[in-house]
Amino acid sequence: MKHKKSEKPKKHSKPEKNDLDKLRQQIDNLQKEKDELFGKLQRVSADYANFQKRVPKQIADTICYEKEKIAKTKQRGPKMSTFSLRASRLSTTKCSIS
């Protein structure tokens, strides 16, 4: 490519102090934003881990409660069916997660 006579090739000049200050400020802002996002990520990860631990226990507790409820309902009936006998045995055992 040929340069026009009036056009001069650009020389690399040293960055000015203002430019450096602006770049440092941008770096500081980005670092703060990164730290905030990383903190949010850690909190979400901890919440999810707690959720994974909590849900199986809640499901087991609900199943245990429903078994006890069925056993009590069946025991009130006029006769004990095979289902009622099994349910009453379940209600006498303590429900827990192993």
Answer yes or no: is pLDDT of 10 > 70.
no
**Contacts of residue 60, Cβ cutoff 8 Å, sequence gap at least 6:** 95, 96, 97
Closest alpha carbon to 90 in 78, 98, 72, 60: 72
- Predicted TM-score (pTM) of this structure: 0.50
Specify whether the CB–CB gap between 60 and 97 falls below 8 A: yes
| Mean pLDDT, rounded, for 77-89 | 60
What is the predicted pLDDT for the residue at 9?
A: 57
At 12, phi and psi to the nearest 5? Answer: -75, 120
What's the whole-number average pLDDT of the chain? 80
